[in-house]
């Protein structure tokens, strides 16, 4: 018994000594983390001040500020890659201006479903695709469904993922032979990672009957052609060029437009317009803490907005 007591005492003594050695290091680690957080906030505030100075010089009156999307790099958020368009796509290309309504209202809000958050995975292409299908379902049935973006990210046949992709409607057109449609979010919840393809048994499928471009796959259709598509089909999936100003946007009509856009890097949906503002209503996938509760008003034609505009039918 004495031997056991000595062993227990010795063990406890070692534990106490270890606590004196290692515990003082914990506040140091916490202080370093706090210092890093403060330094990041200061860098962001300095960057925003410089951006606001340029905005005043250019007469841009939209608002920018800290928001959750600013914690990520543009490369993490924006990985829409037009060069990955499948060559055997079943999408129809009617040609620019082929579909223009005779009369259109001066403002219109189409169909859309709640804002989602893609986080640090460059899966905007999947969110734009699913947002388009959810809107098409709501337009036809009146019901709001939450469908799985992770299914598109993890199970697509072209090796797309967080590193990028294109509109994935072909994947969920049954006649293409990949999948019978999209599946509910509850069947394959979003992980913001290139997770292994694995989903619930016997999912309910929500198929895309067909999909088409408003103009062509690599152009920006006319404003009236995009309006007509939104008016007819509820919303359109589009590509766009994102920069730091877009990322920092918190409100107003976005007018930071480059004269020439060399690349398209992000996918969203357009779900309305207002001629008095001269702007589209854009639904993003960066959560409700970005923009105007997840939405943006963006000037017609700004930074290639509307690139590859397309719609789907449920």
The mean pLDDT value for 43-49 works out to: 92
Q: Is the pLDDT of residue 18 over 50?
A: no
- Give 249's strand partners: 64
Q: What is this structure's pTM? A: 0.88
292/132 Cα distance (integer angstroms)? 20
Annotated catalytic residue within 284, 302, 303, 310? 284
Answer yes or no: 266 catalytic: yes
Which CATH number goes with the domain that contains 170?
3.90.70.10
Task: Identify the weakest region by mean pLDDT among 33-37, 118-122, 256-260.
Answer: 33-37
88 and 155 within one domain: yes
- 77 with 22, same domain: the answer is no
Based on the fold, state whether residues 88 and 200 are members of the same structural domain: yes
On whether residue 50 sits in a domain, the answer given is no
For tokens 């709501």, the residue is 138
* Summary mean pLDDT of the chain: 90
Mean pLDDT, rounded, for 117-137: 98
CB-side neighbour CA atoms (13 Å) of 137: 20
The DSSP call for residue 38 is H
Token pair, residue 183, equals: 């599946």
Q: Is the pLDDT of residue 101 over 90?
A: no
Q: Is 6 among the domain residues? A: yes
CA–chain centroid gap for 3, Å, is 65
- Confirm whether 128 is domain-assigned: yes
Same domain? 36 vs 124:
no
Considering the domain architecture, whether residues 113 and 140 belong to the same structural domain is answered as: yes
Question: Does residue 57 belong to any structural domain of this protein?
Answer: no
How many independent structural domains does the chain possess?
2
151, 162, 187, 266: which is the annotated catalytic residue?
266
My answer on whether 203 and 243 are in the same domain is yes
Q: Is the pLDDT of residue 7 over 80?
A: no
Closest CA to 133 of 233, 224, 218, 280: 233
pLDDT tens digits, residue range 53-87?
A: 999 999 999 999 999 999 999 999 999 999 999 99
User: CA-CA distance, 14 to 18, in Å (whole number)?
Assistant: 6
Task: Note whether residue 176 is domain-resident.
Answer: yes
| Domain span holding position 176 | 62-313
- The torsion angles phi and psi of 170, rounded to 5 degrees, stand at -55, -35
What is the reported pLDDT for 13?
Answer: 44
Catalytic residue (choose from 78, 121, 124, 257): 124
Residue 120 has pLDDT above 50, yes or no: yes
Could you tell me the pLDDT band of residue 268, with boundaries at 50, 70 and 90?
A: very high
Query: Can you tell me the mean pLDDT for 288-302?
Result: 98
Are 103 and 193 found together in one domain? yes
Q: Is 151 a catalytic residue?
A: no
Does 155 share its domain with 40? no
Q: Do residues 246 and 152 both lie within one domain?
A: yes
Shared domain for 153 and 41, answered yes or no, is no
Answer whether 300's CB lies under 8 Å from 253's CB. Answer: no
Co-location of 6 and 31 in the same domain: yes
- Domain contains 52: no
């Amino acid at each position: 018994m004495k031997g056991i007591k000595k062993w227990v005492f010795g063990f406890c003594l070692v534990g106490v000594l270890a606590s004196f050695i290692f515990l003082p290091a914990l506040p140091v680690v916490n202080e370093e983390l706090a210092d890093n957080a403060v330094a990041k906030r200061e860098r962001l505030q300095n960057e925003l001040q410089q951006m606001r100075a340029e905005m005043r010089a250019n007469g841009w009156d939209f608002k920018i500020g800290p928001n959750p999307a600013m914690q990520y790099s543009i490369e993490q958020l924006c990985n829409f890659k037009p060069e990955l368009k499948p060559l055997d796509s079943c999408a129809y290309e009617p040609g620019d201006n082929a579909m223009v309504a005779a009369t259109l209202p001066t403002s219109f809000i189409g169909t859309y479903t709640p804002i989602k958050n893609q986080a640090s995975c460059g899966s905007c292409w999947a969110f734009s695709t699913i947002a388009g299908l959810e809107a098409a379902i709501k337009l036809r049935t009146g019901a709001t469904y939450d469908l799985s973006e992770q299914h598109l990210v993890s199970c697509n046949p072209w090796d797309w993922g967080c590193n990028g992709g294109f509109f994935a409607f072909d994947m969920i057109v049954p006649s293409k032979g990949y999948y019978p449609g999209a599946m509910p979010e509850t069947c394959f919840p979003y992980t913001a990672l290139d997770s292994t393809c694995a989903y619930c048994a016997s999912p309910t499928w929500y198929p895309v009957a067909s999909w088409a471009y408003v103009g062509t796959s690599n152009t920006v259709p006319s404003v009236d052609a995009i309006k007509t598509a939104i008016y007819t089909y509820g919303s359109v999936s589009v590509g766009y060029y994102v920069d730091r100003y877009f990322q920092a946007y918190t409100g107003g009509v976005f007018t930071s437009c480059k004269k020439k856009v060399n690349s398209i890097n992000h996918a969203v949906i357009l779900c309305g317009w207002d001629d008095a503002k001269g702007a589209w209503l854009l639904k993003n996938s960066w959560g409700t803490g970005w923009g105007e509760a997840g939405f943006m008003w963006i000037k017609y034609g700004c930074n290639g907005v509307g690139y590859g505009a397309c719609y789907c039918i449920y």
